[in-house]
Structure 1
Amino acid sequence: MPAVLGIDGGGTKTVCLLSDTTGRVLGRGEAGASNYQSVGGEAAYRSILESIREATKGHAVTVTGIALGLAGIGRPEDEAVVRDWVELLQNDDRISIAWALRLKGVCVCHDCAIALAGGLGREVGIATIAGTGSIVYGRNRFGQTARSSGWGYVLGDEGSGYDMARQGLQAVVRAFDGRSQPTALSEAFRSQLGLQEMRDLVELVYRRGWTPKDIAALAPIVDKIASQGDRIAEEIVDRSASELALATKTVAAQLFEGIEPFEIVTVGGLWHGTSALRQRFDRLVTDALPAASLVWPRHEPAYGAVLTALRALGKR
């Protein structure tokens, strides 16, 4: 039976979906991270391989199309690396499926593109992604694309979980010094992290080598305290909403005319908090972009990769 593979590869995990040529999902596989910028090429290839093995287990299929939406794929040389992996996969005896790929049946793109395709069920619109990092990506009906933010935790990622948590930690140490007013974030972080005193943050953050992901994991605390009415935490959430709205409006201005209707899909864990981040974002965006509609994701990014592969093969 002819089939396609859709792969969503990120810095935490890799998801592969096996689908028939009508878009019906037949199998699913998960493995480790496949952002080769952070885990290296060998580990990334192994994660992709394992996710395909798990998704295709027990299925007698011939793969005619494959789409890989991977974090860290932003340059032509990155795409070339992944296309080499596809060649290797077809000759890897650890995968027990048949291959019948043609050039047009191999799609390599960054993970934002499949988040948009999966979130909306089509490729036209905007995806505003807010998780550990943040980025806004859009595509119009002419095939033109644009992006904003997504420069990583050092240069950008404003409105991300990392950015929100970092601001929360900074607010706590400023309050401890007396440089700003007290905030309920202090006790919340102290309890969550088991701190004897606030100076213990130095040992946690610096000496234990916390990663951006470790810091971003504290964003739900800021969200929770903001929902309880703490002014400092609310200001952080407001800034996050403003930064995400600014990036979204920047992309929209490049792709869509003022009266042309389009959808904005909000993707990522930060949107599911209790602080009304999404409602704040909605107000800022829809006031500026009256033709836009805000929606929740209709499908996961891996299914967006499936749709991308099917479209490349000429399937509706």
Structure 2
Amino acid sequence: MSDPLVIGVDGGGTSTEAWLADAGGTVLGRGTAGPSNAKAVGDDRARRALSEAIDSARADAGIGDRPVAVACLGLAGFDRPDDRARLASWCEQGGWAGRLVPANDGDLVLAAGTPEGFGIALIAGTGSIAVGKAPGGRSARAGGWGPLIGDEGSAYSVALAGLRLVARRFDGRSDRPAEDSLTGGLCEALGVPSPGEIVSVLYGPAWDRARIAGLARIVVACADGDIEVRDHIFGPAAEELADLVVAVRESTGWDDAPNPPPLAVAGGFLLAAEGLRVEVLKLLGDWIGPVGLVEEPVAGAVMLARRALG
């Protein structure tokens, strides 16, 4: 009998990555696809992305379409009971694995970014969420409510705030500084000559949530030279992300522990926006312990799948 194989998947609002590994953790195949956050792109598109990433990983490993022993699927915005039931159905129909380990994207970051899998994970990519797990087994989450009622401090939230500020300045509802790099940068990224043309582009089919979130880097880059961006977008975004961590720390009972919890930080936006990340950590101060940056949460999915083998 051949050694058991596992698949780990990290799926979010921007992309999906799958790794196929052996029981010892050696990665044998990799696959990537588009976004698989069903709350953002819908069930059909999410399922297609998962299938594409997993099939690519299986092909890369040379195992054809045979199922592996365990698959850990860590998907943003897809961790409630009805979501997990749907995921189990997809796994069975797709022949992905004999056993499914559903996980929140924060679980992957905890597994990959903390020494023993205990602590707090803060993720800010297209969306935002914090999850935590204490050594005694107590767990909690904050955020992850999606773009309509949550995702504070995320790339999408920051990008929208920047676009709203540009609109206010164009209308005369906010003072426009002499050097308005925010307006210039966002108009250039959208391919329009002036803010008056933004609506015709932004509401078109090409600009989905993930692409709009990509504009956040321009907003963050303007924080140093634009007081309004710094005080009304950058600063509040850092505070919102810090609040997520504090809420999880209190809910998991870390306040009663002798040492503060380790913090694992992930998400393309927060990892790339160093200034924002530094500000979040400054706000947290002694509330958290060692900080680890997790660039590949999919490694945590592989780790959780391997633990399930035991």
TM-score > 0.5, shorter chain as reference: yes
Q: 1:43 to 1:241 in 2, by over 3 A?
A: closer
Q: 1:128: how far off?
A: 0.9
Mapping for residues 48-197 of structure 1, pairs under 5 Å: 48-57=50-59, 58-59=61-62, 63-90=68-95, 101=98, 105-120=99-114, 122-183=116-177, 184=180, 185-197=182-194
Matching residue within 268, 290, 294 for 1:293:
290
The CA deviation string for residues 19-43 of structure 1, in whole angstroms up to 9 with x for no partner, is 1112121211122333344444444
Relative to structure 1, the CA distance from residue 174 to residue 52 in structure 2 (aligned partners, 3 Å threshold; closer, same or farther) is: closer
Contact 2:271/2:293, CA 8 A, preserved across alignment: no
Equivalent position of 1:5 in the other structure: 7
Quote how far apart the aligned CAs of 1:9 are.
2.2
CA change 1:216–1:44 in 2 (3 A) is closer
Match of 1:311 in 2: 307
Tell me which of 30, 33, 43 is aligned to 1:31: 33
Deviation at 1:225, TM superposition (A): 1.4
CA deviation map 1:269-299 (0-9, x unaligned): 2224466111111110114x1x5222211x6
Is 1:282 the equivalent of 2:276? no
The answer to whether the 8 A contact 2:190-2:202 is kept is no
Return the TM-score normalized by structure 2: 0.86
- Deviation of 1:171 after TM superposition, in Å, equals 1.8
Contact 1:237 1:275 in 2 (8 A): no
User: In structure 1, the residue corresponding to 2:13 is in which secondary structure?
Assistant: coil
Q: CA separation in 2, counterparts of 1:197 and 1:242?
A: 31
State the one-letter code of the partner of 1:136: A
Identity %: 38
Partner of 2:255: 257
Structure 2's unaligned 5+ residue stretches are none
Q: How many residues align?
A: 299
Query: In the aligned structure 2, how far is the partner of 1:118 from the partner of 1:275?
Result: 20
Structure 2 counterpart of 1:232, from 211, 228, 235: 228
Comparing 12-21 and 128-137, the one that deviates more: 12-21
Q: Is this contact kept in 2: 1:119–1:300, CA < 8 A?
A: no
Q: Distance in 2 between matches of 1:179 and 1:46?
A: 44
Unpaired runs of 5+ residues, structure 1, are: none
CA RMSD of aligned residues (A): 2.5
How far did residue 208 of structure 1 move?
5.8
Please state how far the C-alpha of 1:244 moved relative to its aligned partner: 0.4
